[in-house]
Amino acid sequence: MPSHLCHLAHLQLLNLALNQISRSIPKFLNNITALTQKLSSSTTITHVYIEILGMTLYSIIYDDQALWTWKGSEHEYKNILGLLKSIDLSSNKLTGTIPQEIIELVELISLNLSRNHLFGQIVSNIGALQFLDFLDLSKNQLSGRIPFSLSHIDRLSVLDLSNNNLSGKIPTSPQLDTFNASSYEGNPNLCGAPLPKKCLGEGIAQNPAMNRRREHASMQDKKEGFISLEFYVSLALRFIAGFWGFVGTLLLNMSLRVAYFRFLNNFKDRFYVAIEVNMARFHCVGPLCFHCVKVV
């Protein structure tokens, strides 16, 4: 690609697609003033005339117009031709990296570098191209992460980064979320919506409130489990201490043991007598009832 093209300061439409152009993209694209500075739109009606000695020999009036492939179809631009600023270098044999100077082309509306052999990373501050409506970097060998600054381009309506070697999580924004998986497919190490491949730990990042509740519930379960275990251990120790404290005292103290068993015998006799009296009262009938109770 000849570098002297970069000296065409008023160049707005550069289309070298479907050729055999090789080597790298020139770094001096920022010399094209029409793509780097906000200029007034070109006049759509132009007067061309030749005047000699006060006499007009030739005069013509024409309208600016051009046929331009835009978003996959060809359109004729006329009245707004001055606003259309585009670079299309697709379907060539370009190699090397995307030059950093390309971010100075702030007036670009369309940039198509697809179907080449470009490698390296996408320019990190590509978000500086705020007027970009069409961006196609597909079918290259680009690697690294998708720059987060890409999410700052609010006007972007067509995006194709497919079939590269991009990796990491796809940035999210109200604008980028409108693109489907076809814009990113063909990058094996790329993850996140809208691709079906989820990033590691994406579930935690997507719903932090839910995960906090789950962590709290898990800690609560562990706490409750610890209290229950402590309760049962304490209960067992109390039972053992009480049982052996009582039985050990009886085994070691003879008089206390005799008194205890005498108490049990007396309690057993009284309990038996009480049961018999109650049974007799229940079965006595008529005039013999008082006598029966008295005898017992």
Are the CB atoms for 138 and 90 separated by under 8 Å?
no
19-71 pLDDT per residue, tens:
999 999 988 888 888 888 765 544 444 544 455 555 544 555 545 555 556 55
Cis check: omega of the bond before 194, within 30 degrees of 0: yes
CA distances from 151 to 130, 174, 178, 235 (A): 10, 8, 11, 63
Helix (H) and strand (E) counts for the chain? 5, 15
Comparing 66-75, 117-126, 264-273, the range with the smallest average pLDDT is 66-75
To 5 degrees, how large is the angle CA 237–CA 241–CA 244? 135
**Dist. CA 83–CA 73, nearest whole Å:** 18
165-215 pLDDT per residue, tens:
999 999 988 888 889 999 999 999 999 989 998 888 765 444 555 555 555
What is the predicted pLDDT for the residue at 186? Answer: 94
Please report, rounded to a whole number, the percentage of residues in the chain having pLDDT higher than 90: 30
Are the CB atoms for 168 and 195 separated by under 8 Å?
no
Average pLDDT, the chain: 76
Residue 98: pLDDT band (50, 70, 90) is very high
The residue ranking higher by pLDDT, 272 or 163, is 163
What is the predicted pLDDT for the residue at 277? Answer: 75
Question: Helix %, strand %, coil % for the chain, to 5?
Answer: 40, 20, 40
CA distances from 39 to 6, 44, 82 (A): 18, 14, 9
For the chain, the domains span 3-206, 253-296
Closest to 146 (Cα-Cα) out of 134, 136, 158, 161: 161
CA distances from 65 to 41, 53, 68 (A): 13, 32, 10
Tell whether pTM > 0.85: no
**Dist. CA 206–CA 202, nearest whole Å:** 6
**Is pLDDT at 137 greater than 60 in this prediction?**
yes
Q: Quick one: DSSP state of residue 180?
A: -
Comparing 92-106, 107-121, 154-168, 278-292, the range with the smallest average pLDDT is 278-292
**Is pLDDT at 258 greater than 60 in this prediction?**
yes
One-letter identity of residue 293: V
Q: Quick one: DSSP state of residue 106?
A: T
Is 77 in a helix, a strand, or coil? strand
Q: Does domain 3-206 have CATH number 3.90.1150.10?
A: no
What is the predicted pLDDT for the residue at 273? Answer: 76
**Dist. CA 242–CA 154, nearest whole Å:** 78
What is the predicted pLDDT for the residue at 226? Answer: 46
Q: Name beta bridge partners: 75.
A: 68
Comparing 81-85, 223-227, 230-234, the range with the smallest average pLDDT is 223-227
Tell me what the mean pLDDT of segment 118-139 comes to: 93
What is the predicted pLDDT for the residue at 30? Answer: 81
233-244 pLDDT per residue, tens:
777 777 777 766
Closest to 125 (Cα-Cα) out of 109, 142, 101, 143: 101
